[in-house]
Structure 1
Amino acid sequence: MKHLCSYFCAITITALLFSLTPASADSHENFLQCLYNYPENTTSISSVVYTQTNSSYTSVLDVSIQNLRFFNATSKPVVIVTPLVVSHIQATIICAQRHGLQIRTRSGGHDYEGLSYVAGVPFVVVDLIKIREIEVDVENSTAWVQAGATLGELYYTISQKSKTLGFPGGVCPTVGVGGHISGGGYGFMIRKYGLAADNVIDAKIVDVNGNLLDKETMGEDLFWAIRGGGGASFGIVVAWKIKLVPVPSTVTVFRVRRTLEENATGIIQKWQRGANKFNESLTIRIKMERVNSSKSGNLTVEAQFESLYLGRVDDLIPYMQKSFPELGLVREDCTEMSWIGSILFMAGFPNGQSTDVLLNRTQSDGLFFFKAKSDYVRDPIPDVGLEGLWPFLYEDEAKDGYIQFTPYGGRMYEISESETPFAHRSGNIFHIQYIVFWREKGDVAAQRRVNWIRRLYNYTEAYVSKSPRSAYLNYRDLDIGVNNDGYTSFSQASIWGFKYFGNNFNRLARVKTRVDPRNFFRNEQSIPPLISQGRK
């Protein structure tokens, strides 16, 4: 663990934290001098600091932006730091506090509302793109993965070491591990092994005092909070120690499409009543979008049933014929492959693609503008509810949008809702993501799509979880409530907090009060402390 040393010998930690002042015009210059003079930087920090006058500033800022909505944001960081070592992170935290700058932490840039690189106040981006080492221990089925690594890099590294170990994370390979795990993280092994956060066994985080903590030194409460409560509210997560899970040498995937003319509504209805009860080795999610009918040429809705089965096709086909005959799955629909092959399949890469593509940190299909929202469903949506969804998908704004259902059950029902901050466990039969993409520039185009997804979201209110209407942190949605820039009361934050975390929001606020009482680590949806302190 590293501690502050003689550089701040005349200033106690308490005095430092309670002397925060708003950033002045020259605060970033003072901030830079603080960084360069920080005594524990045994590796020079000057080469990884980018100001707005630096020729590489724009390329460094833009490289990890994943949503074009924020590509030309007027609110840009005064400084970007791409640390090479932990002492660079420690220095940035201490100096930002000293000179009145906020910090936004970026691991992959996939925050749906851009909160990892956009802010309405003077701020510094700590981009962990160079903190991305991965060490796989096959013998003990564990790995240390630094927060700046992507899921693709993690999956690739695991596959190079073992053909029978995997990790239950998300589908998109360019997502950063740091944010993904700290918000929960799910993928096609959710029913067998739960969330990514459920498989964390240790972590390293730099706290508000500049201390590097592990599970033992951070204590039970903070370790609990960062596994699903969002690490950015509590410090900067540097690395996760994860438990790798056994996977068969051969798994089976399929992607079967059914349109409304092919009884998609009835098949979805059967899925709603059975998908959470299927064998836990089988996950079938549904993606619903508009297509041109192959029969009439007119617009229709197509439901894509995408599946990973942790086993051979010879076992899957008879199981499906018994448990889900309505889908009409046949052997020709299925493909056997390795687990790492299934990662490529679910990410949309063509069959035979080299696994090297997982090392690419930019999205293969380019960047879009997009807006997303989420829901949890506790009772099947009736036919009339589903039929009311389809007209939304016929609208022009939905041309590049879709609705996705992901089933629960299995391991998700076995874990207590209070075991981690992620409270959406038993009682939910599936999760919904609504998302709309567009390439057309301008505020008018953006407002049309955002209005469309908000109307869709308002329509489904009658069919989803209530009191509160729940949401998923990793599908960040500022529509459900935001904090003030300065002091935000627990009551105000509860408007969005209970939607993300249920009753776990109370404990998260207590942890925040203990580890960051002055609310230095904050954003539009960060956990607030319970005490009435902070700039007003």
Structure 2
Amino acid sequence: MSAVSAVVLALCFLGIYMPAPSLATSSGNNDFIRCLLPDVPSQLVLTPGSPSFKPVLVSSIRNARFVAPATTRPPLCIVTPTNASHVQAAVRCGRAHGVRLRVRSGGHDTEGISSRSQRPEVFAIVDLANLHDVHVNPQEATAWVDSGATLGELYYAVAKAAPGLGFPAGVCPTVGVGGHLSGGGQGLMMRKYGLAADNIVDATFVDADGNLLPDKKAMGDDLFWAIRGGGGGSFGIVLSFKVRLAPVPPTVTFFSVTRSMDQGAVEAVTKWQTVAPALPDDLTVRVNVQQRQANFQSLYLGNCSAVVATLRDRLPELGVTQADCREMSWLQYAAYIYFGDAINSTPPEVLLLNRTLTLGRFYKNKSDYVNKALTKDEWEKIFTWPSGGAVEGQLVLEPHGGRMGSIADADTPFPHRGGVLYNIQYVESWNGNSSTPSWVNTLYDFMEPLVSKNPRAAYANYRDLGIGVNKQVHVGGVSSYQSGKVWGERYFGGKNFKRLAMIKGRVDAGDYFRNEQSVPPLHL
């Protein structure tokens, strides 16, 4: 089985600071670095004069199309903190000397804005990769996890410390916890337990003034609400999350069934649209559509015989049999869904804990939510888009329903709840010879009348600058709320986005933490 999300990957390197770098910067920018050094060890501040600067900059970029922009207009420096005080110093020095901060925890930023800026501004990167501890409390069924940990590190730590517990989050083990949880965190257990963000019970946070807020009481209800699905990079820096763990059985079941168009793939996907959201919530069946084929993949919190019986009744078009199933532990599943048969020769912990990855192709993501099932004729057009089929285009369809439909839209900033059948992720990859993706953009235009409306919704963790970017009220001023609404209401809905903007207006009125799609401050 091929890895679903192994589209682009990158090498991770350890950074080593070389003393007395030569910087072609203004005295104010040098002042920022001088401000840091009393509080941050010099080896944790990487400047362009260091041989390790470029490898570290590139190490956390997963999309090859952002390597050139990031290295052509690089950050002033990369701060690689190992404790909260280093993060606080970066914020305070940045504010004092006019240096913006971009924060990254794993690099799976589909528009690369955690590693680059499209604006003519001086910025530094705070790379949280060194903050990756996980502390599991089996008796309480909770864990504290640092933002710089990967999902793979979290899954491994939970499974080893608390057999019988897991965590509902995404399928890619190299995704950083900080960004994933901040934007919601869809995964194959969300129908049973909700999003990753729905299971955050506490957090530690550095605010826009550099103050350490050690828990949700110090943050207050509004800010704690905002960081659980309101996207990263808008309010401050989350250092760690306390999450509620979920019970998982000793055996879970995975199956993978592929059908071509000649084998009824279109008919199967057409029916899947209404069946998958209504299945028992301990069974999730998602679909990958690529090269005129549909690959159906499952996670069932139980044994194979129950999966076969359920789908024989509910979705017989797949023809699932015992031979299609693979029973395993939840930890093995967490590795297998991404790495496939590599787990036959490599222990899951080696795969899940590996942060050293190779850079892959260029790619572009977009997303949609579907509330009304598409017709067979519409799916026929999608499968053959464009004429002759799309070799390098892929759709990932993830069903909602279950627990997702019982959580109110306003409980967290993530509003895509009741009435949603499934989410679509569009992915187009290419080798870099063309700078403009065509398959994903033309298909996205075709889909407009078929998906959610008023607004056409999108998933914040599949960030897409094509749906809108912030404009400033004046040069150097705060981001415009009106320009933010264009993209923000699509990610968060109108009411949630307005609430996010009002919270931003209270906790970061001067818009220090801002980027192309950060929540703008709203003052009423």
- TM value normalised by structure 2: 0.91
8 Å CA contact 2:65, 2:432 repeated in 1: no
Gaps of 5+ in 2: 1-23
1:394: Cα distance to partner?
5.5
1:331: Cα distance to partner?
0.8
1:162: Cα distance to partner?
2.7
1:484: Cα distance to partner?
2.3
Does the alignment pair 1:80 with 2:74?
no
Q: How does 1:254-333 map to 2 (within 5 A)?
A: 254-290=255-291, 301-333=292-324
1:393: Cα distance to partner?
5.6
Q: How does 1:44-63 map to 2 (within 5 A)?
A: 44-63=40-59
8 Å CA contact 1:393, 1:402 repeated in 2: no
8 Å CA contact 2:386, 2:439 repeated in 1: no
Question: Aligned letter for 1:268?
Answer: V
1:490: Cα distance to partner?
1.1
> What SS does the aligned partner of 1:238 have?
strand
Does the alignment pair 1:479 with 2:466?
yes
Distance 1:362 1:428 in 2: 37
1:68: Cα distance to partner?
0.5
| Structure 1 residues 93-151: Cα deviation after superposition (integer angstroms, max 9, x where no partner) | 01111111110001001110001110122100000010111111111111000000000
> 1:427 maps to what in 2?
419
Q: CA RMSD in A?
A: 1.5
> 2:508 maps to what in 1?
516
> What SS does the aligned partner of 1:287 have?
strand
| Structure 1 residues 40-88: Cα deviation after superposition (integer angstroms, max 9, x where no partner) | x3xx421100111112111111111111111121221011100011111
> 1:92 maps to what in 2?
90
| Structure 1 residues 431-459: Cα deviation after superposition (integer angstroms, max 9, x where no partner) | 00000112x234xx121xx1221111001
1:402: Cα distance to partner?
0.5
> 2:28 maps to what in 1?
27
1:313: Cα distance to partner?
1.2
> 1:127 maps to what in 2?
127
Question: Aligned letter for 1:529?
Answer: P
Question: Aligned letter for 2:96?
Answer: R
Which among 341, 345, 363 is matched to residue 332 of structure 2? 341
> What SS does the aligned partner of 1:335 have?
strand
> What SS does the aligned partner of 2:340 have?
coil
| Structure 1 residues 224-282: Cα deviation after superposition (integer angstroms, max 9, x where no partner) | 00000013100011000001100000011100001100111111111112110000000
> 2:428 maps to what in 1?
436
Distance 1:197 1:288 in 2: 27
8 Å CA contact 1:163, 1:339 repeated in 2: no
> 2:397 maps to what in 1?
405
Does the alignment pair 1:418 with 2:410?
yes
> 2:363 maps to what in 1?
370
Q: How does 1:118-157 map to 2 (within 5 A)?
A: 118-119=116-117, 120=119, 121-157=121-157
Distance 1:78 1:394 in 2: 47
Distance 1:135 1:393 in 2: 49
Shift of the 386–147 alpha-carbon distance from structure 1 to 2, 3 Å rule, reads same
> 1:13 maps to what in 2?
none
> What SS does the aligned partner of 1:345 have?
helix
> What SS does the aligned partner of 1:27 have?
helix
1:324: Cα distance to partner?
1.4
Distance 1:60 1:258 in 2: 42
> What SS does the aligned partner of 2:270 have?
helix
Distance 1:324 1:441 in 2: 40
Does the alignment pair 1:191 with 2:168?
no
Distance 1:222 1:504 in 2: 13
Question: Aligned letter for 1:116?
Answer: S
> 1:233 maps to what in 2?
234
| Structure 1 residues 461-502: Cα deviation after superposition (integer angstroms, max 9, x where no partner) | 111001100000000000000012543221111000100000
1:366: Cα distance to partner?
4.3
Percent of aligned pairs sharing the same letter: 46
8 Å CA contact 2:233, 2:518 repeated in 1: yes
8 Å CA contact 2:365, 2:464 repeated in 1: yes
Residues matched between the structures, number:
488
Distance 1:395 1:95 in 2: 55
Does the alignment pair 1:446 with 2:440?
no
8 Å CA contact 1:376, 1:428 repeated in 2: yes
> 1:383 maps to what in 2?
376
Question: Aligned letter for 2:318?
Answer: L
Distance 2:410 2:110 in 1: 26
Distance 2:108 2:186 in 1: 15
1:400: Cα distance to partner?
2.5
> 1:219 maps to what in 2?
220
Q: Moved runs in structure 1, 4+ residues, more than 6 A? A: none
Distance 2:391 2:31 in 1: 49
Distance 1:508 1:96 in 2: 24
